[in-house]
A = this chain, B = another copy of it.
């Protein structure tokens, strides 16, 4: 099993820097400490996912690129793959549940991908995607359990470190990062070999937190609570992502839905950024002081793709 490496993260960072300007960083006072925020929500398709997609797709032999790429996702991974495939002139097929939100279907279609739908209750997206990939000779790209994808997401860390140094800020010494399957968290951990790591998940979906405490992979329990963090609803992390985080003694914390909404309000009024629920969990942990602000802290705002009605309600609520 190929493992993601720091060298691979650095390679991914160079590849991403060749096609995209760095996503901005913002420094803001939190409890008397200057904290750095990395605005991955401002990427062209609204999330960090194009990093891993670009690193993976550019690693495909040019001779077989015309066979295309297949992914299953109803969200940001789909749009990241579609974005990278379009840029490389590759066909992309996204396997998506028939009841996926229209905004996400439209975002994926607008990037030129083909969508194949399945019935969430009776069909397996993994099987459909594997079948499609086999039939077409296309490459299947997982959303996090893939060394290139992990390395690609990690490019955000190299980029942020460079920006912090250029801005005269301290080197990033503590990373606080949203965690679904752990691709972004593991990749950025590889990119920052000297930083302490905290991964953040929604309450009830904090399987990486519990896995890191236990020392082995624990899946999400049966009947997890509803969460607005659609981007973080991963039922089981992978050995690849878990191993990277466990080896670095990463800690995990869980945040409530109300804490996530408070973070979305803070981002809107203090940074003027639209951050989706799953993209706001690391900020939520900081604002709720589940992580203490400290110099050199780097907090990732990982995505900004919102349903406008739900977003409006999140900004209005809880007061």
A273 in complex: contacting residue of B21, B103, B273, B313, CB < 8 Å: B273
A121 in contact (CB, < 8 A): no
- How far is it, in angstroms, between the C-alpha of A304 and the C-alpha of B269 when the chains are bound? 8
**A315-B311 contact in complex given A24-B42, A272-B273, A274-B268, C-beta closer than 8 Å:** yes
For residue A313, which residues in chain B have a CB less than 8 angstroms away from its CB?
312, 316
- How far is it, in angstroms, between the C-alpha of A274 and the C-alpha of B268 when the chains are bound? 6
- How far is it, in angstroms, between the C-alpha of A220 and the C-alpha of B311 when the chains are bound? 36
A308 in complex: contacting residue of B275, B305, B315, CB < 8 Å: B315
Beta-carbon contact of A41 and B272 below 8 Å: yes
A306 in contact (CB, < 8 A): yes
A180 in contact (CB, < 8 A): no
A315 in complex: contacting residue of B24, B46, B265, B312, CB < 8 Å: B312
A316 in complex: contacting residue of B103, B304, B305, B312, CB < 8 Å: B312
Kindly provide the distance from the CB of A305 to the nearest chain B CB, expressed in whole angstroms. 8
The digit string for A296-319, where 1 denotes a CB below 8 A from any CB of B, is 000000001110110111011000
Interface residues on chain A, size class = 20 to 34
- Of the candidates A103, A275, A304, A315, the one having the most CB atoms from chain B within 10 angstroms of its own CB is A315
For residue A269, which residues in chain B have a CB less than 8 angstroms away from its CB?
103, 274, 306, 308
For residue A315, which residues in chain B have a CB less than 8 angstroms away from its CB?
308, 311-312, 315
- How far is it, in angstroms, between the C-alpha of A148 and the C-alpha of B103 when the chains are bound? 45
- How far is it, in angstroms, between the C-alpha of A312 and the C-alpha of B305 when the chains are bound? 16
- How far is it, in angstroms, between the C-alpha of A273 and the C-alpha of B274 when the chains are bound? 6
Which of A29-47 touch B at CB < 8 Å? 41-42, 46
Beta-carbon contact of A316 and B309 below 8 Å: yes
- How far is it, in angstroms, between the C-alpha of A42 and the C-alpha of B103 when the chains are bound? 25
Kindly provide the distance from the CB of A147 to the nearest chain B CB, expressed in whole angstroms. 29
- Smallest Cβ-Cβ distance to A274: which chain B residue: B272
Beta-carbon contact of A308 and B268 below 8 Å: yes
- How far is it, in angstroms, between the C-alpha of A42 and the C-alpha of B23 when the chains are bound? 12
Which of A255-313 touch B at CB < 8 Å? 265, 268-269, 272-275, 304-306, 308-309, 311-313
Kindly provide the distance from the CB of A105 to the nearest chain B CB, expressed in whole angstroms. 14
Knowing that A265-B308, A268-B311, A315-B315 are A-B contacts, what are 20 other residue pairs whose CB atoms are under 8 Å apart, sorted by A's residue number?
A24-B24, A24-B42, A41-B272, A42-B272, A46-B272, A103-B269, A268-B274, A268-B306, A268-B308, A269-B274, A269-B306, A272-B273, A272-B275, A273-B274, A309-B316, A312-B312, A312-B313, A312-B315, A313-B316, A316-B316
